Amino acid sequence: MTVTIPVSGGEFRPYDVVVGRGLLAGLGAHVAPLARGRTVVVTDETVAAHHGPAVLAALKAGGVKARLLTVPPGEASKSFAELERVIDRLLAFKLDRSDLIVALGGGVVGDLAGLAAALFMRGIDFVQVPTTLLAQVDSSVGGKTAIDTPRGKNLVGAFHQPRLVVADIDVLATLPERQLKSGWAEVLKHGLICDRAFFDWLAGEGAKGADGDPEALQRAVVRSVEIKSAIVGEDEKEAGRRALLNLGHTFGHAIEAELDFDEDKLTHGEAVALGCAMAYRYSAAQGLCPAEEAERVEAVIAACGLPTRLKTVGSFKASALVARMAGDKKAEGGRLTLILARSIGDAFTARDVDARALTAFLEAEGAR
């Protein structure tokens, strides 16, 4: 069964997220109403090998003439250099403001292609066709687009909402196990921030989704998108409640940056999983959250094969991590801001976090 979730609110134009199985084969019918001129499918080389010809054929069957523009796979493509190359190719293709970009891939492709769409001719339309679980439940929805810099992740970007998101559950069958589980971290995060019943299901019957069960995956994707849609509709520019979606990310981004964004060492989803476990343990250490809640969160994350302890992913200096966290996008005036929790399903934004307490916590976690 195909499910359509509307995303609306604030000042942005409403759009739909379509979730179901076998959707790539009918992609042309979904995209055709939006394709007024030329269409460029931006994807990475790995996804192009799996789905490129089929997507071009599906678009053609719907009356959409399109061409592929490929980028190297991996986080390194979220760079100024690759953004410049993509925009240069769009100019070489002679696209104009009536044309369309389709972002076919995971979060890296969606972020890069979305930012290119936001900048090209001061903004053209784009469609998200996420091919990873992480992208389907998180990065493809909400209009955040960005690239990384050596000083941190996602520090240069723009809010640019897609016109449509098409999430085909069947494409997840081609994902390596590690990538599927990385996406599951973002699913768990949605339950942790505001839906305890959803988290309970994910910890029980729904855990089959982490192993690739398509029915569980579809239910997990739909509920995650519903949660994110409601939050984005209320707070598009992250002035308030949307910050909750960053649970685990401030810890996670700092760890990723210290590892030079090396996905062989730690994927983004693994960093989020570790960050969520750390956020709950820090909340418990500060007396904000019952210790048994933090212990349960850690156990559920670990049961999915995701990291929960800092020392298992590398060696870190506490001072370096705190400095990274102080430079996070949520920080204001250098003040540390974290998403913490009172319990499972009840996250909140904590401002003016004490740097000494955070440093002591990180040292207790194994940082030197």
Tens digits of per-residue pLDDT, 226-244? 999 999 988 888 878 899 9
Residue 91 domain boundaries: 3-174
Question: Has residue 96 been placed in a domain?
Answer: yes
Stretch (H or E) spanning 104: strand 100-105
Residue ending a domain, choose from 174, 201, 236: 174
Residue 74 belongs to some domain of the structure? yes
Asked if residue 72 is part of any domain, the answer here is yes
Q: Is residue 58 very low, low, confident or very high in pLDDT (cuts 50, 70, 90)?
A: very high
Look up tokens 């959409």; give the residue: 64
Tell me the per-residue pLDDT of 262-287, one tens digit each, with 9 for 90 and over. Answer: 989 999 999 999 999 999 999 999 99
Which positions are catalytic? Answer: 122, 144, 186, 228, 238, 242, 246, 249, 253, 268
pLDDT of the residue at 95: 95
Instruction: CATH number of the domain at 343, please.
Output: 1.20.1090.10
pTM: 0.94
- Shared domain check, 260 and 136: no
Phi/psi-derived region of residue 185, left when phi > 0, alpha when psi is between -120 and 50, beta in every other case: alpha
What pLDDT score was predicted for residue 327?
Answer: 81
Domain edge (last residue) among 174, 191, 219: 174
Which residue, of 112, 144, 174, is where some domain finishes? 174
Same domain, 236 and 350: yes
Rounded average pLDDT over 175-183? 96
**In this structure, is residue 179 part of a structural domain?**
no
The per-residue pLDDT for 330 is 65
Residues 142 and 79 grouped into a single domain: yes
**Domain-embedded: residue 201:** no
Residue 156 CA to residue 362 CA, distance in Å, equals: 27
For the chain, the domain total comes to: 2
Residue 195 falls inside a structural domain? no
Query: Average pLDDT, whole number, for the chain?
Result: 95
Residue bearing the bigger pLDDT, 11 or 206: 206
Residue at 49 is within a domain = yes
Orientation of helix 196-203 relative to helix 214-234, angle to 10°:
160
Give the pLDDT confidence of 315-354 residue by residue, as tens digits.
Answer: 999 999 999 999 876 666 667 999 999 999 999 999 989 9
Q: Are residues 248 and 345 in the same domain?
A: yes
